């Protein structure tokens, strides 16, 4: 597995990280999307990710209001992971807040994750009461003080990302990432200018929901009754409805066909496509609520799709989305 550079930094990360939203303890509006996991389950997920070559983890303040960060750090400590061997990305929650709260809330982020330093701090969405300029300056101050290594954004449009990147460049602290929803069933970054702008600025796109909440595994196509037992609002999303399952079936069939060649699963093909289709610009953070999910994720790093396969999947995905 070849590591990739995070933006314009000297930080080298695996093409897949572990998304830790599901470590939220079932708390809060955002964390309530998932049911609470036992500490031993979290530990096994983190262990499987590390064993598979993943060297970075993405969490956030809003994931259970610190619960995800705490669960992650506890798991890493119990596994005796050296802080110098991994990278942690977290996020400041900007809704109804001003830029001053970036500094005000940072000690809590440090406390929740201790002894693991924060490598990348991200603005979770563009909904702060303060300007983008004020937010980037607040983030850059923390970098200059040596309290974190890099800054990023999340859910920013091409225009907002460009604006943030220019402010960061003026401060001499480059913007290195934009975390966005991106999968074979959600490809808006390709048409709304985000992917193009990221390439222009040398910014890494971190793809969240890369398996569309599990739809790209194909298990819900085989066993649609599983959908009714899901915790949280996933069952009401487009692709989980009967029409969505039927519409996406041709893509699942193709992923399965290609998966047979590599002796992997369809979700591993979907992840491999995502981290290779746009060169090295895109990395992904699939989540895992069981150790076997994490083991499955990392198998996506064990092979590389060829150009023909990338193109076939691309075309099938477009046909499904336009259907």
The CA distance from 282 to 199, in Å, is: 10
Catalytic residue among 63, 87, 116, 208: 63
Q: Please tell me what DSSP assigns to residue 125.
A: -
The CA distance from 20 to 245, in Å, is: 26
Active site residue 116: no
Query: Which tokens hold the place of 265?
Result: 């699963």
| Nearest Cα to Cα of residue 125 among 200, 60, 210 | 60
- Strand-pair category, 56-58 with 87-92: parallel
* Cis? peptide before 212, omega within 30° of 0: no
> Which backbone phi and psi does 14 adopt, to 5 degrees?
-70, 150
Buried b (16+ CB within 10 A) or exposed e, 184-218: bbbbebeeebbbebbeebebbbbbbbbbbbbbbbb
Q: Could you tell me the CA-to-CA distances from 228 to 27, 225, 231, 242 in Å, in that order?
A: 21, 6, 9, 12
> Which backbone phi and psi does 275 adopt, to 5 degrees?
-85, 0
- Strand-pair category, 175-181 with 150-154: parallel
| Residues marked as catalytic | 63
């Amino acid at each position: 597995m070849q590591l990739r550079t995070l933006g314009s930094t000297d930080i080298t990360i695996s093409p897949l990280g572990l998304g830790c939203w599901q470590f939220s303890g079932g708390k809060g509006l955002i964390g309530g999307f998932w049911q609470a996991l036992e500490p031993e389950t979290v530990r096994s997920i983190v262990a499987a990710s590390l064993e598979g070559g993943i060297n970075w983890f993405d969490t956030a303040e809003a994931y259970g209001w610190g619960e995800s960060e705490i669960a992650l750090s506890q798991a890493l400590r119990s596994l005796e992971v050296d802080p110098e061997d991994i990278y942690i990305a977290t996020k400041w929650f900007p809704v109804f807040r001003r830029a001053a709260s970036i500094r005000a809330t940072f000690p809590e982020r440090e406390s929740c994750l201790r002894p693991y330093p924060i490598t990348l701090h991200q603005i979770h969405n563009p909904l702060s009461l303060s300007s983008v300029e004020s937010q980037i300056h607040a983030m850059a101050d923390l970098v200059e003080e040596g309290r974190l290594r890099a800054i990023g954004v999340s859910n920013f449009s091409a225009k907002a990302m460009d604006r943030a990147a220019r402010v960061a460049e003026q401060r001499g602290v480059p913007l290195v990432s934009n975390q966005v929803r991106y999968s074979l069933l959600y490809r808006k970054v390709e048409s709304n200018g985000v992917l193009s702008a990221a390439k222009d600025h040398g910014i890494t796109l971190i793809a969240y929901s890369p398996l569309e909440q599990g739809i790209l595994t194909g298990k819900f196509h085989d066993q649609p009754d599983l959908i009714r037992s899901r915790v949280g609002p996933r069952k009401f999303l487009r692709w989980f409805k009967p029409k969505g399952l039927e519409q996406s079936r041709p893509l699942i069939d193709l992923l399965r066909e290609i998966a047979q060649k590599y002796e992997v699963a369809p979700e591993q093909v979907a992840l491999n496509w995502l981290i290779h289709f746009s060169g090295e610009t895109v990395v992904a953070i699939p989540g895992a609520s069981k150790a076997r999910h994490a083991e499955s994720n990392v198998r996506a790093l064990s092979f590389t799709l060829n150009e023909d396969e990338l193109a076939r999947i691309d075309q099938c995905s477009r046909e499904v989305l336009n259907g």
